[in-house]
Structure 1
Amino acid sequence: MDTLSNSQIIAASTIILIIGFLGYLGIKTLMISNWFKKAVYLYQNKDYEAAETEFRKIIKIAQSNDVVRLMLGDLLNRQGRLIEAREMFTEVINRSPKNPDAYLRLANILMLENQKQAAITNLEKSLELFEKQRQPQQAQKVRQILQEITNKG
Structure 2
Amino acid sequence: MKKYSVASLGLTVVTGNHTPTVGIPQLLLGSGHVNDNEQDVIVEEDVWIGTGVTLLAGAHLGRGAVIGAKSLITAKSMVPPYAVVVGCPSRIVAAKFTIDQIVKHEEKLYAPEERYTREELDEIFKRYFEGKKTMGIDYNLSEAEEAKYHKWMEKTGLWI
Q: TM-score, normalised by structure 2?
A: 0.25
Higher helix share: 1
Higher strand share: 2
Q: Which has the larger radius of gyration?
A: 1
Of structures 1 and 2, the one with the larger relative CO (CA 8 A, separation 6+) is 2
